[in-house]
Chain A
Amino acid sequence: MDARQIKDLALQWHQVELEEAAAERLAVMTAAFGDTLGALASDSLFDTEPAHFDRALVAMAKRDD
């Protein structure tokens, strides 16, 4: 999304009016988010439930030895 689209989105979704500089900053930032998710999320397990993070932490707490 470019800055104009970011401004429109913030206004339509959240009724927040962003200043031009803020919109331009967010346009750069969100492009990086897309790249990150593109690199990492494509092979996510279909049934992974975000709310189960504690269960994952508990499982990882077990020592290998």
Chain B
Amino acid sequence: MTELTHLSLTAVADAIASKETSARDVTEACLALIDAKQPALNAFISLEADAALAAADAADAALAKGETPGPLHGVPLAHKDMYYRAGKVSTCGSKIRKDFVPDHTATTITRLAEAGALHLGGLNMSEFAVGPMGHNDHFGSCRNPWNPDHVTGGSSSGSGSSVGGRLVYGALGSDTGGSVRLPAACCGLVGMKPTQTRVSRYGLMGLSFSLDNAGPLTRTVRDNARLLGLIAGADPMDHTASAMPVDDYEAAALSPDVKGLRIAVPANYYYDNAAPEVRALMQASLKVFEGMGAEIVEVEVPDHHHIRQLGVTVRGPEGTVLHAAWLRDRPQDYGPQVRARLEPGLAIGAAQYLAALQIRPRITQGFVDAVFAKADVFHAPTIAVPVPSLAETDVKDSPDFPALVAGMTHCTQPINYLGLPSLAVPAGFTANGLPASFQLVGRPFAEAALYRAAAAYEVETKFSETAPE
């Protein structure tokens, strides 16, 4: 029974479609594992077992009638509890919205359902998607499947914990400053923050209109490519979703190749304060790429310390627009660190906010010119330190929290302001037994190139085949 849960998303989809197994058997296996692991991991905020089993039976019945299965037919997924489904509670990880029932469904959720996916429940998350560690003062902190004393990374904490723990085959998270890539990195997963305008945000709780991204967390590169291919593309309900054609990401993942690929590594910023063992793992990953025929080139990245400031100058006011009334009327209902991280927008003026947005294309162009004139993809750590423990990072709003947050998001946050695609890829383990990760960053809309390179690394290293006990 448990072996089913260790299949990849694409493998279990194939097994269901070919009737080697059934959607019910797969769903029951996931539910049994959730029952066993939820007390330790706290990955789910809500579980819809009966509805999922009924949907699994319907999926099996459709196959028996000869219906053509979709690419996710009968595959159990679950998503960060901020993807709206009409008529279903979406807590957003908060006390303030613990009973919130949206009247519409996220486009991404509709697209996955149309592909045949089942929905097991709402996943734990940092309150209002604010928090790079995965702590939650209202629903309890989520725990890392590799070691429950350690953080999952946030804010898509339950997405990382549930997929890493083999409770579900894939999950959507959201990424405003690293919130897909950080839990992917901490939980040994592949996590995609797509190009800023690649995926519709309709029906996704907002934190920052200009920086929010929907993206998948999975165990393998191919799984990730399949999910992104299903959710990407224009959406009449979200005018910010690009009309740029969607590439065949899964085909890219199925043609792993880095021969002749030029990989840029940063000479500045990304390794500031990097732990020696993380630095060594990054070097080892580059050796693997070199061994497969890639060329490594060093680049200077422009403006990065400024880019961090620009990101906060954009996120602050956008978050304040959404939260000002609750900050005024219900400040006690926020966790102290979440409230503190929503307050900067109160002191940023409209002219500063718009200036930070106005110069964004020029700053991104500067990075593209500096990096992609010399290389095809950019390689950097996702997190530059070993995955920390829950205890050492549970600092609430103490004076230590700004440095802790800045350290955790040091390598991910600038990419959101730049609007570029970034794929977090498992890169082995640090001495504490927790996963390490690098990110591959590409030109706008170059997600296929990232999947092709990451798949080559995955085939060579087989890190995705290692699962927590």
Mark A residues whose CB is within 8 Å of B.
1, 6, 9-10, 13-16, 18, 21-22, 25-27, 29-30, 32-37, 39-41, 44-45, 48-50, 52-54, 56-58, 60-61, 63-64
B343 partner, pick from A1, A18, A56, beta carbons under 8 A: A18
Q: State which of A33, A35, A50, A53 has its C-beta within 8 Å of the C-beta of B419.
A: A53
**Residues in A neighbouring B372, C-beta threshold 8 A:** 64
Q: Which of B197, B352, B360 contacts A50 (CB 8 A)?
A: B360
- Please give, as numbers and ranges, the residues of chain A lying within 8 Å of B354 by CB-CB distance: 50
- B443 in contact (CB, < 8 A): yes
Q: What total of A-B pairs shows CB separation below 8 Å? A: 121
The binding surface of chain A is classed by DSSP as helix
CB proximity of A30 to chain B, nearest CB, Å: 5
The answer to whether A16 and B328 touch across the interface, beta carbons within 8 angstroms, is yes
The dominant DSSP class at the B interface is helix
* Contact call B328/A58, Cβ cutoff below 8 A: no
Contact pick for A60, options B312, B328, B365, CB 8 Å: B365
For chain B residues 247-266, which have a beta carbon within 8 Å of chain A? none
Q: Which residues of B contact A13 (CB under 8 A)?
A: 346
Contact B368–A60 (Cβ < 8 Å) = yes
- Is B309 touching A36 in the complex (CB atoms < 8 A)? yes
22 chain-A/chain-B pairs, Cβ below 8 angstroms = A6-B347, A14-B324, A16-B328, A21-B399, A22-B343, A26-B344, A26-B347, A29-B347, A37-B352, A37-B356, A40-B303, A50-B357, A50-B358, A52-B361, A53-B196, A53-B197, A53-B361, A54-B196, A56-B364, A57-B195, A61-B445, A64-B373
* Complex: A41 Cα to B408 Cα, angstroms: 28
Interface size class of B (residues with CB under 8 A): 35 or more
Whether B313 lies near A57 (C-beta < 8 A) is no
- Is B359 touching A1 in the complex (CB atoms < 8 A)? no
Tell me the complex Cα distance, A32–B363, Å.
18
* Cα of A32 to Cα of B180 in the assembled complex, Å: 27
Q: Indicate which residue in B244, B313, B320 contacts A14 across the interface (CB closer than 8 Å).
A: B320
- Any A CB within 8 A of the CB of B340: yes
Residues of A near B358 (CB, < 8 A) are 41, 44, 48-50
Once the chains are docked, how many angstroms separate the CA of A56 from the CA of B244? Answer: 12
- Bound-state CA distance A48–B356 (Å) is 12
A44 lies within 8 A of B240 (CB) = no
Q: Does B46 contact A (CB under 8 A)?
A: no
CA of A5 to CA of B358 in the docked complex: distance in angstroms? 27
Chain B residues, Cβ within 8 Å of A50: 354, 357-358, 360
User: Which residues of chain B are near A56, meaning CB under 8 Å?
Assistant: 360-361, 364-365
Do the beta carbons of A53 and B306 come within 8 Å of each other? Answer: no
